[in-house]
């Protein structure tokens, strides 16, 4: 920005952004540092909204669960390519989107990841997606017994928990950014009709 | 033994560990910013308690929400209680869950499967 606002450009941007959000039924979108404060603020805001809309309590709990785990995934695992200086990595940055349709909520996250982490994530997500409810329970029990809290404070159980609580398959895609990094998109659906 | 009494917040649970008055309880919500730091004093306390536990320890869990990072530390607490039980002391875990909360009930069942300690599920109604 050079201090002068291009009014036409701004209007077009805001209007198209507004339309896109409406089309995709986005109720909350955020891009930036995902801190503990952000996690708390978004979850309590969403909780209050669902409460006001008399959302089914079980759906409310599931949305809360998924939001917490997804936001913590970003805050613990996301990497960031600083556009001005590649030598300063910043963690915990990503995009978070909550959308609400007639019959479901969808929580979507996007963040930058080192390519060398992809195989491990794919293996984990594919394993989870092959399992049924009982299989997920067993995997959860096995992982919680073996697992340790990582230096970043994660238990490595987030994806399993999301699949277990929502009963939906986990959607994911990687978009290559350059030789070193990819953009990881992760999406979960929470049905409103239990 | 000293008493641990932590008043809960919207992201940390209430904790009461009071051997003299037979009160052992964790309740509320658990998604602390730093789970390891939050649970460390509790696990340390249980380590010291296990050296000279009460004849009977009834430990109450009455959580309404916990994240996966907390779930691992809750298991660590249960494993300490298992040790106390295996050393020949009387231990009972009481896992309280809101009557309409299947996920919290299921979480209790899963813990009961993992640890070898007498485990009781208790449903309660809200309001």
**pLDDT score recorded for residue A147:** 75
Please indicate, yes or no, if residue A148 is contained in any of the structural domains. Answer: yes
**pLDDT score recorded for residue A5:** 81
**pLDDT score recorded for residue A91:** 64
Res. A120: pLDDT tops 70: yes
Q: How far apart are CA A39 and CA B67, in angstroms?
A: 12
Note the ipTM here. Answer: 0.89
* Tally of domains in chain B: 1
Q: Does A152 touch chain B (CB under 8 A)?
A: no
- B9-28 mean pLDDT: 97
CA A100 → CA A103, A170, A189, B42, distances in Å?
8, 17, 10, 40
Please indicate, yes or no, if residue A53 is contained in any of the structural domains. Answer: yes
> Which residue in A57, A64, A72 is closest to B100 by CB distance?
A57
Element holding A164 (H helix, E strand): helix A158-166
- B71-94 mean pLDDT: 96
* Tally of domains in chain A: 1
Range of the domain at A64: 7-191
Mean pLDDT score of chain A: 89
Res. A83: pLDDT tops 90: no
- A39-57 mean pLDDT: 94
- B64-73 mean pLDDT: 94
Please indicate, yes or no, if residue A1 is contained in any of the structural domains. Answer: no
Specify the higher pLDDT residue, A114 or A3: A114
Please indicate, yes or no, if residue A73 is contained in any of the structural domains. Answer: yes
Q: Does A143 touch chain B (CB under 8 A)?
A: no
Res. A84: pLDDT tops 60: no
Strand runs (DSSP E) across A83-180, as ranges?
93-100, 104-114, 171-176
| Residue A92, domain CATH | 3.30.565.10
**pLDDT score recorded for residue A128:** 95
How confident is residue A90, by pLDDT bands cut at 50, 70 and 90? low
**pLDDT score recorded for residue A193:** 85
Res. A154: pLDDT tops 70: no
Q: Which residues, including other chains, have CB under 8 Å from residue A169's CB and lie 6 or more apart?
A: A129, A163
Range of the domain at B16: 4-124
| Residue whose C-alpha is closest to residue B42's, from B12, B87, B11, B9 | B12
A31-A35-A38 Cα angle (round to 5): 70
Structure confidence by residue, pLDDT tens digits, B31-42: 998 999 999 999
**pLDDT score recorded for residue A164:** 95
Q: How far apart are CA A121 and CA A173, in angstroms?
A: 11
Structure confidence by residue, pLDDT tens digits, A60-81: 999 999 999 999 999 888 776 6
> Which residue in B34, B65, B114 is closest to A153 by CB distance?
B34
Q: Do A61 and B101 touch (CB under 8 A)?
A: yes
CB B114 within 8 A of CB B80: no
Res. B25: pLDDT tops 70: yes
Q: Do B65 and A161 touch (CB under 8 A)?
A: no
């Amino acid at each position: 920005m050079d201090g002068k606002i291009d009014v036409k450009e701004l209007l077009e941007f805001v209007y198209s952004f507004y339309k896109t959000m409406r089309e995709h039924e986005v109720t909350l979108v955020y891009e930036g540092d995902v801190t503990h404060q952000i996690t708390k603020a978004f979850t309590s805001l969403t909780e209050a909204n669902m409460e006001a809309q008399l959302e089914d309590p079980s759906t409310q709990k599931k949305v809360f669960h998924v939001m917490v785990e997804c936001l913590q995934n970003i805050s613990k695992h996301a990497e960031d390519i600083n556009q001005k200086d590649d030598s300063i990595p910043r963690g915990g940055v990503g995009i978070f989107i909550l959308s609400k349709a007639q019959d479901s909520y969808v929580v979507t996250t996007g963040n930058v990841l080192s390519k060398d982490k992809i195989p491990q994530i794919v293996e984990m997500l594919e394993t989870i997606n092959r399992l049924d409810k009982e299989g997920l329970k067993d995997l959860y029990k096995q992982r919680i017994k073996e697992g340790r809290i990582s230096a970043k404070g994660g238990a490595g159980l987030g994806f399993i928990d999301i699949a277990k609580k929502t009963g939906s398959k986990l959607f994911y895609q990687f978009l290559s950014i350059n030789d070193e990094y990819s953009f990881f998109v992760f999406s979960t659906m929470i049905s409103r009709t239990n | 033994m000293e008493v641990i009494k932590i008043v809960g917040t919207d992201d940390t649970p209430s904790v009461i560990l009071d051997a003299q008055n037979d009160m052992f309880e964790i309740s509320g919500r658990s998604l602390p910013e730093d789970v390891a730091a939050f649970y460390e004093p509790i696990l340390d306390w249980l380590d010291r308690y296990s050296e000279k536990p009460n004849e009977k320890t009834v430990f109450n869990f009455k959580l309404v929400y916990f994240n996966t990072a907390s779930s691992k530390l809750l298991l660590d607490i249960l494993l300490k209680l298992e040790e106390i039980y295996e050393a020949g002391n009387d231990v009972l875990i009481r896992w309280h869950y809101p009557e309409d909360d299947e996920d919290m009930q299921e979480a209790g069942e899963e813990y009961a499967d993992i640890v070898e300690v007498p485990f009781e599920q208790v449903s309660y109604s809200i309001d």
